[in-house]
Amino acid sequence: MKTNDTILQTVTKVLVFVILAFSIFIFFAGHNNPGGGFIGGLITAAAIVLLMLAFDMKTVKKIIPFDYKKIIAVGLIFAVGTGVGSFFFDAPFLTHAHDYFDLWFLGKTHLATALLFDIGVYLVVVAVTLTIIQTIGEDE
Amino acid sequence: MTLLHWAILAPFLLAIFVPFLYKYLKAIHTGWFVLLLPVTLFIYFLQFLPNTYNGNPIIETVNWIPSLDINFTVYVDGLSLLFALLITGIGALVVLYSIYYLSKKREALGNFYVYLLMFMGAMLGVVLSDNLMVLYVFWEFTSLSSFLLIAYWYERDKSRYGALKSMLITVLGGFAMLAGFILLYLMTNTFSVREIVEIAPTIINHPFFLPAMLLVLLGAFTKSAQFPFYIWLPDAMEAPTPVSAYLHSATMVKAGIYIVARLTAVFALAPEWIWLVAGFGIFTLFWGSFNAVKQTDLKSILAFSTVSQLGLIMSLLGIGAVSFHYTHLEENIYTVATLAAIFHLINHATFKGALFMMVGIVDHETGTRDIRKLGGLMGLMPITFTIALIGSLSMAGIPPFNGFLSKEMFFTGMLRAVELDLFNFDTWGILFPILAWLASIFTFIYSLKLVFHTFTGKYQPEKLDKKPHEAPIGMLISPIILVSLVIIIGFFPNILSYSLIEPAMAAILPLGLDERFYVNIYHWHGFTPELYMTIGVVAIGLAMYYYLTKWQSIYKLHPEKLTLNKFYDGGLITLENTSDKFTHSYMTGFIRDYLVYTFAFFVIALLSAMYMLDALVIDFSGLAPIGIYEGILSLAMVIAAFVVLFAKSRLTAIIALGVVGYTLALFFVIFRAPDLALTQLVIETVSVALFLLCFYHLPKLKQELNRVRFRAVNLVISVGVGIVVTLIALSANSTRLFESIAEYFVEASYEEAGGKNMVNVILVDFRGFDTMLEILVLGIAALGIFAMIKLRTKKEEGHEN
């Protein structure tokens, strides 16, 4: 018998965006407030897991057609690339820089290369969590 | 590199080319190419005779590892030259003999000559090296090449057994000798034998002196097949006969003799040296000759005979070492023992080489070496019989052959031992001539047996595989040369005394300035006790040989279980079984047991370290007050932990573990670590979910819902670990040696890195490198899980265990 998950699916459709928004907030807040790439990544993964619970693996794969293993690599490239990038400025590995910039759509904004590194952490954490869950979930 | 160095290395170099000669010049027996080298080397070494005669030793050095004082120093004096001539001379004869002995078609000649050349080079290196380390290198090379040569017919079980036995015993001695050499180096600070000899009198009271002596002697005794290490030599007779003739009679087994002679100048001042060398030697002499009589295999007789003759030389070297206690040559009556040792060394090489070759011929022509099947060959093989007769009579010590001369001198040496009033020799010294005399009687018996059981008596063609006939002339050349030497030395012994014996004695014994040895060997030296002893040997020997069958049953008195071979075999088996049992006793294959060892070690090591270093300090003064929340949370955590321990079902344990994790998150909240609290919450959720997954997939069949079984050992160890960790934490907290560096991060996180979240700034900026590697760890874990689940191959059939 096919169960009727209408309520769960409807709630999920709303909640996933809330969770994703929260995870992005947590991610960007990391520099000055509690949060950061690690916990942000975990929350993003939680949103996707919720999708998987409410619908099913195949549907989620259709919605988010990424190979998470490749995203692990992308994340690691971000992190290592940030480190290597400091070589171009004659600085030791993983030296970060930060400053304030006047961006036309955000006004005075604080940008730091540490953010690029954190993006790497974020991507790896999201992809690792989802790889594990997906692999185990698909296993017979 | 001088010509001398190349002379030592030449056999090794030729060994490289032998396989090519064997492969591409099939028409010619490979041995002919090899033969050129020992002949050349023999002639080359002959030209050093004037040098050693005039007392001008030659020293040539090539740096090898100068920083460790290891240099390839070649030293040619009387002793080394004597050995070098023996090695190359007998080597040439053996190669010639092997050309006719080994078939060109059936045998792997390439292997044979490579091994033989390796051995020749190694042996030259042993006797010509001045540096102890280089000597040791060549020494092990002789063991190795001997191992290869004994197992030349490797498809035979007995060959492999004999090779392994000789390898184990000689390498055991080799290692001991290496240790002895290192001790010598520690005492004298040099590896050079000449320099050690100069310093020798000053180190006699050094605590390492005795251990060094014992270790070096162990090496020499194992190599030279002294009691009780002789057991490998009879089993090494599985080697091809040229190998037995060369290695196991003339050269390798004399390497130990060489070491003892060479280092006499270092150790002789100690009474232990004289007692050990002379005592073991004389007993080996007796034991070897006693056992040789009962053997039925011709090569076994010769093997035991070699053992006993080596014991003879060894005991003479031991008595000769007494000379070091006399300062003047005139009153020194013990040099005659050294003279006898050297003279017999040469004689033994000649007659034993000839006898081995004779046995090889008999084996080759009749197909057996069993003395019970042989007999009556005299008419069929007259030349071989002549060789056997001369060799055996020389071995038995009958005039006019060279064995007689050295045996007379041997008796002289042994009789002098009685007169010695040093080191308790006045009470026990009488044993030396008695044992020597008894051994000579047995030597006489087995020498007669060797010849007359083989060549006289009844001819039994039905027991022989082949129809015997005289050997080809090529096979006879070498033994004929050797027995000619036996006769020539027998009649004109003094041609050796000036050229070889005097310089060799000078190399072994101390000489005052302007003194030199004058050796004169006579056949007739009056009615001395030695002569009566020889007459007694011949008379009693003849009588005992005649009644051999009557008294032969005494050999059965020695029970088979108590023989040294049984002891060796049993020892090896016991060793294997014991180590097997020992390994299995603790390598149980259960991780539980290994964890017990690990944690037990952890507890014992840390507790004893804490106790010995007096590191246990408990100081509660700097602690913060404990609030009510902390109290409640701790209690919750402890309760949850106990629930995990005593839970009846796994599900309870998983949930209790989740409680512990969430309580920890709450602790993070209380102790103001929001990032940690967030992460801990999410991670705990994920891991509890994974635990549940594992629980769900447990196999149905053995699903046990039992409680954890109680084990006292586990309780003790887990309590111990808990206590140790707690004590260490308390002690560490009580002894703050310096301020934390946290202040720096508080100040710098915003100013330098522009972030207000200090934890995150540390993670991505100050300590970003760690984070980078941690996400790598996560990535590896994910890929690992993916690989484990996706790449499951079907269980291979018939896999191990």
Give percent of chain A above pLDDT 90: 31
- The answer to whether residues B388 and B451 touch, using CB atoms and an 8 Å cutoff, is yes
pLDDT of residue B39: 94
pLDDT tens readout for residues B92-105? 999 999 998 888 88
Burial of B373 (0-12, 13-18, 19+ CB in 10 A): middle
- In this complex, the residue of A29, A42, A98 whose CB is nearest that of residue B682 is A42
Annotate B226-254 with DSSP letters as a single string: -TTGGGHHHHGGGS-HHHHHIIIIISGGG
Round to whole Å and give the CA distance between B30 and B42.
20
Q: How far is A125 from chain B (nearest CA, A)?
A: 7
Residue B426 pLDDT grade (very low, low, confident, very high; cuts 50, 70, 90): low
Query: Which residue does chain B place closest to A92, by CA atoms?
Result: B769
pLDDT of residue B516: 66
**What is the H or E stretch that residue B65 is in?**
strand B58-65
Residue A4 pLDDT greater than 50, yes or no? yes
Distances (CA, A) of B302 to A56, B228, B248, B638: 89, 18, 10, 82
Place of tokens 């005097």: B502
Binary contact (B786, A110; C-beta < 8 A): no
- In this complex, the residue of A114, A125, A127 whose CB is nearest that of residue B753 is A114
pLDDT of residue B793: 65
- In this complex, the residue of B765, B769, B789 whose CB is nearest that of residue A135 is B789
| Residue, of B517 and B68, whose pLDDT is higher | B68
- In this complex, the residue of A32, A124, A125 whose CB is nearest that of residue B757 is A32
Round to whole Å and give the CA distance between A38 and B714.
38
Q: How many CB atoms lie within 10 A of CB B563?
A: 13
Binary contact (B772, A80; C-beta < 8 A): yes
Q: How far is B792 from chain A (nearest CA, A)?
A: 11
Mean pLDDT of chain B: 86
List the structure tokens of B267: 């150790």
Binary contact (B775, A79; C-beta < 8 A): yes
Contacts of A75 in chain B (CB under 8 A): 775, 779
Contact partners, residue B413, CB within 8 Å, separation at least 6: B316, B319, B320, B334, B336, B337, B340
Range name among A37-46, B221-230, B405-414, B599-608 with the lowest pLDDT average: B405-414
Contact partners, residue B79, CB within 8 Å, separation at least 6: B127, B258, B261, B262, B503, B504, B507, B508
Residue B801 pLDDT grade (very low, low, confident, very high; cuts 50, 70, 90): very low
- In this complex, the residue of A39, A73, A114 whose CB is nearest that of residue B764 is A114
Binary contact (B679, A118; C-beta < 8 A): no
pLDDT of residue B757: 85
ipTM rounded to 2 decimals: 0.91
- The answer to whether residues B487 and B398 touch, using CB atoms and an 8 Å cutoff, is no
Binary contact (A69, B782; C-beta < 8 A): yes
Q: How many CB atoms lie within 10 A of CB A35?
A: 25
- In this complex, the residue of A94, A121, A136 whose CB is nearest that of residue B769 is A94
Contact partners, residue B141, CB within 8 Å, separation at least 6: B118, B119, B121, B122, B125
The one-letter amino acid code at B553 reads S
Q: Tell me the CB-side half-sphere exposure of residue B801, using CA atoms within 13 A.
A: 2
Round to whole Å and give the CA distance between B492 and B485.
10
Contacts of B757 in chain A (CB under 8 A): 29-36
pLDDT tens readout for residues B153-189? 999 999 999 999 999 999 999 999 999 999 999 998 8
Interface of B with A in 662-691 (CB under 8 A): 674-675, 678-679, 682-683, 686, 690
Round to whole Å and give the CA distance between B634 and B652.
20
C-alpha dihedral, B360 to B363 to B368 to B373, nearest 10°: -90
Residue B548 pLDDT greater than 50, yes or no? yes
Interface of B with A in 478-497 (CB under 8 A): none
Residue B429 pLDDT greater than 90, yes or no? no
User: B60 forms bridges with which residues in the sheet?
Assistant: B74
The one-letter amino acid code at B797 reads E
In this prediction, residues B553-565 reach a mean pLDDT of 73
- The answer to whether residues A131 and B782 touch, using CB atoms and an 8 Å cutoff, is yes
Contacts of B763 in chain A (CB under 8 A): 36, 38
Round to whole Å and give the CA distance between B252 and B146.
8
- The answer to whether residues B88 and B250 touch, using CB atoms and an 8 Å cutoff, is no
Which is nearest to B332 in space by CA: B508, B525, B530, B526?
B508
Phi/psi region, residue B55 (left: phi>0; alpha: psi -120 to 50; beta: rest), is left
* DSSP-derived secondary structure letter, B762: I
Mean pLDDT of chain A: 86
Contacts of A27 in chain B (CB under 8 A): none
Round to whole Å and give the CA distance between B174 and B161.
20
> Do you know the residue count of chain A?
140
- The answer to whether residues A82 and A116 touch, using CB atoms and an 8 Å cutoff, is yes
- In this complex, the residue of A31, A73, A131 whose CB is nearest that of residue B755 is A31
Contacts of A112 in chain B (CB under 8 A): 753-755
- In this complex, the residue of A34, A129, A131 whose CB is nearest that of residue B674 is A34
Q: How far is B763 from chain A (nearest CA, A)?
A: 9
Range name among B288-297, B496-505, B601-610, B675-684 with the lowest pLDDT average: B496-505
Residue B615, SS3 per DSSP: coil
Q: How far is B640 from chain A (nearest CA, A)?
A: 26
Residue B577 pLDDT greater than 90, yes or no? yes
* DSSP-derived secondary structure letter, B708: P
Query: Which residue does chain A place closest to B774, by CA atoms?
Result: A121
Q: How far is A65 from chain B (nearest CA, A)?
A: 18
- In this complex, the residue of A72, A80, A110 whose CB is nearest that of residue B782 is A72
C-alpha dihedral, B336 to B341 to B343 to B344, nearest 10°: 130
Binary contact (B678, A128; C-beta < 8 A): no
pLDDT of residue B314: 92
In this prediction, residues B388-399 reach a mean pLDDT of 89
Q: Tell me the CB-side half-sphere exposure of residue B421, using CA atoms within 13 A.
A: 0
Residue A58, SS3 per DSSP: helix
Binary contact (A42, B679; C-beta < 8 A): yes
Place of tokens 């047995």: B442
In A30-112, which ranges are continuous DSSP H helix? 37-54, 57-63, 68-85
pLDDT tens readout for residues B17-30? 988 888 888 888 88
Binary contact (A121, B782; C-beta < 8 A): no
User: B76 forms bridges with which residues in the sheet?
Assistant: B58
List the structure tokens of B613: 């270093």
Q: What are phi and psi of A100, to 5 degrees?
A: -100, 135
Range name among A37-46, B220-229, B486-495, B550-559 with the lowest pLDDT average: B550-559
Query: Which residue does chain A place closest to B686, by CA atoms?
Result: A129
State the Rg of chain A over Cα.
18
Q: Tell me the CB-side half-sphere exposure of residue B219, using CA atoms within 13 A.
A: 24
Round to whole Å and give the CA distance between B59 and B738.
65
Range name among A67-76, B195-204, B597-606 with the lowest pLDDT average: B195-204
pLDDT of residue B121: 93
Round to whole Å and give the CA distance between B168 and B147.
10
Interface size, chain A vs chain B, as Cβ–Cβ contacts under 8 Å: 127
Residue A17 pLDDT greater than 60, yes or no? yes
Contact partners, residue B561, CB within 8 Å, separation at least 6: none
* DSSP-derived secondary structure letter, B523: S
Q: Is residue B777 within 8 angstroms of chain A, CB to CB?
A: no
Residue B705 pLDDT greater than 60, yes or no? no
Which is nearest to B348 in space by CA: B284, B275, B407?
B407
Contacts of A39 in chain B (CB under 8 A): 675, 678-679, 682
| Residue, of B471 and A33, whose pLDDT is higher | A33
pLDDT tens readout for residues A63-119? 888 889 899 999 999 888 888 888 888 888 888 877 777 767 767 777 778 888 889
Residue B377 pLDDT grade (very low, low, confident, very high; cuts 50, 70, 90): confident
What string of H, E and C letters represents the secondary structure of B719-769? Answer: HHHHHHHHHHHHHHHHCCCCCCCHHHHHHHHHHCCCCCCHHHHHHHHHCHH
Residue B119 pLDDT greater than 90, yes or no? yes
Round to whole Å and give the CA distance between B320 and A91.
79
Q: Is residue B778 within 8 angstroms of chain A, CB to CB?
A: yes
Residue B416 pLDDT grade (very low, low, confident, very high; cuts 50, 70, 90): confident
pLDDT of residue B405: 85
Residue B578 pLDDT grade (very low, low, confident, very high; cuts 50, 70, 90): very high
Residue B710 pLDDT greater than 80, yes or no? no
Binary contact (B785, A132; C-beta < 8 A): yes
CA B505, B507, B511, B516 torsion-angle sign: positive
* DSSP-derived secondary structure letter, B297: B
Query: Which residue does chain B place closest to A123, by CA atoms?
Result: B775
Q: How far is A87 from chain B (nearest CA, A)?
A: 15
Binary contact (A114, B682; C-beta < 8 A): no
Q: How far is A91 from chain B (nearest CA, A)?
A: 14
Q: How far is A31 from chain B (nearest CA, A)?
A: 5
Round to whole Å and give the CA distance between A82 and A95.
8
Binary contact (A135, B753; C-beta < 8 A): no
Phi/psi region, residue A109 (left: phi>0; alpha: psi -120 to 50; beta: rest), is beta
- The answer to whether residues B87 and B251 touch, using CB atoms and an 8 Å cutoff, is yes
Query: Which residue does chain A place closest to B679, by CA atoms?
Result: A39
List the structure tokens of A94: 């993983």
